[in-house]
Amino acid sequence: MSEPPAPDTTARGLDPRAVQASLRRLARADEPPWLHREVARRMAERLAIIRAQPAQLLDWWGWLGAGSELLAQAYPQAQRVLVEPTEALKLRSEAALARPWWSPKRWQSNAPRVMLESDELPQGAQLVWANMMLHAVADPPALFARWQRALAVDGFVMFSCLGPGTLRELRALYERLGWGAATPNFIDMHDLGDMLVHAGFADPVMDQEVLTLQWRDADALLAELRGLGANASPARFPGCRTPRWREHLRRELGRLGQDQGRISLSFEVAYGHAFHAAPKAPVSQETQVPLSDMRALIRSRNPKSVR
């Protein structure tokens, strides 16, 4: 049986330089975005369906993901490793986790640690948790493959990200006025599921919900959007906007007001989880299986059979 083709990511539409600029700005914020904290809370509720109790977990883009305390509550005995995309965010995570010298928690053997995404990951984690960051990744299949390698057999990944229904009202407004792309191309949850399978995950489960947020006026809306990141689409307007254009934007956004004049925008949030299944030997006349994979396969079927 031939391997399924890799999912097409050529239409991802994401400018990595714009993403990095956004991360630098978000690292200077007083706290993670409110929406990230709310989605982390909703995602943590889904941990109840997973019976496994991770001994080690990777919290991907942990400071912006705002799930550190929720994970500590769910898995108090687990070794938590926060994986950050930039040095500035690594410093934010370290500062958030810092304890006074007299605190007993400072000397706990499972005290959280922080590392950079570019570092070599610890192997054998039972959980990769990634809240509200995948939509800012230019190559999700490559990241899925990295997560799969970092996870132990039967470990699982749980993530959330923005989906294609996000800011549909704003995208329609920009298109109508010929202002270029308002957002990058968000990935459909079914395509994310296909990418998980191609990366070697099993039993992917994907679902989504649409959150409708409201603001009292255009200025409050724009401030909130800026706090969530930036427009990282390569098709965005390439130059600097003028005060006249901003005033035009404020008027157009004001026309979107419906409920007592409040402006509403949609945010589609996709959720997914999948397991790192035991390796399967390919069917052929001659099969070569690494000894480490064979041990993992036997251990998953009979945990006491291999030491």
The CATH number given to whatever domain includes residue 90 is 3.40.50.150
- On whether residue 45 sits in a domain, the answer given is yes
- On whether residue 10 sits in a domain, the answer given is no
Whether residue 246 is predicted with pLDDT greater than 90 in this model: the reply is yes
Distance CA 94, CA 60 (A): 14
Greater confidence (67 vs 9) lies with 67
Q: Which residue has 């005290």 as its token pair? A: 111
Cβ–Cβ contacts within 10 Å for residue 159, how many? 26
- On whether residue 272 sits in a domain, the answer given is yes
- On whether residue 9 sits in a domain, the answer given is no
pLDDT value for 261: 80
Whether residue 146 is predicted with pLDDT greater than 80 in this model: the reply is yes
- On whether residue 161 sits in a domain, the answer given is yes
Whether residue 157 is predicted with pLDDT greater than 70 in this model: the reply is yes
pLDDT tier at 292 (50, 70, 90 boundaries)? Answer: low
The number of domains in the chain is 1
Mean pLDDT of the chain: 88
Looking at this protein, which amino acid is placed at residue 277? Answer: A
- Alpha helices of the chain — where are they, by DSSP H? 16-26, 34-45, 62-65, 68-74, 87-97, 140-150, 168-177, 189-198, 218-228, 243-254, 291-301
For residues 287-303, average pLDDT: 61
Distance CA 294, CA 81 (A): 28
Question: CA-based angle 129:275:299, to the nearest 5?
Answer: 120
- Alpha helices of 7-114 — where are they, by DSSP H? 16-26, 34-45, 62-65, 68-74, 87-97
Distance CA 272, CA 192 (A): 8
- On whether residue 284 sits in a domain, the answer given is no
pLDDT value for 285: 56
Q: Record the pTM.
A: 0.85
Domain range for 263 is: 16-276
For residues 239-255, average pLDDT: 92
